[in-house]
Structure 1
Amino acid sequence: MCSQYWAPLRINRIHSEVPPMFPDRLTLPEAAEYIGVSGKTLYMWYESERGPNAFKIAARLWYLRSDIDEWANAEMAATAHGGVQ
């Protein structure tokens, strides 16, 4: 299958390269459960470009587990305070 048929559309931040087989891909409900929020909340984040990277294939929204982990780590780092000095 030619790569032009599976190329992701512009969503949030574009993936520079998405492999043809997505071993760690999650649907919106699966990603929401993985993060611990509702599907509605995750979709609102997607619409406002606040959540983890996402992409569409054939009108379905997909998330990569690695992108969710990267986003969560960045969120934790940005909001952390206190600790030992």
Structure 2
Amino acid sequence: MPDHMTTAEVSELIRTPAETVRYWRHIGKGPRSFKVGRRVLYRRSDVDSWLEAQYAAGDQAGQ
């Protein structure tokens, strides 16, 4: 797995439309991202951390 992921790759990983991932980025809800020129990238470690936080938040909601 690459160290940096595109929006499409993140979307495929979490099985969510790319448009939703873009919207989350816009409102500050999704994984941390950065731009290289016009391209938006995500560090794999940031995506993994964000997914763990989502899991933990869902686990707390179920209690």
- Normalized per residue, the structure richer in strand is 2
Q: What is the match of residue 25 of structure 2?
A: 46
Q: How many residues align?
A: 60
TM-score (norm 1): 0.66
How far does residue 61 in structure 1 lie from its aligned partner after superposition?
0.3
Structure 2: tracts of 5 or more residues without a match: none
Aligned 1:1-85 pairs, distance under 5 A: 23-80=2-59, 81-82=62-63
How far does residue 73 in structure 1 lie from its aligned partner after superposition?
0.4
Q: After the TM superposition, which parts of structure 1 deviate over 4 Å for at least 4 consecutive aligned residues? A: none
State the Cα RMSD in Å. Answer: 1.1
Percent identity reads 37
Structure 1: tracts of 5 or more residues without a match: 1-22
- Normalized per residue, the structure richer in helix is 2
Instruction: Show CA shifts across 1:48-72 (max 9, x none).
Output: 0000000001011001111111001
SS in 2 for 1:74: helix
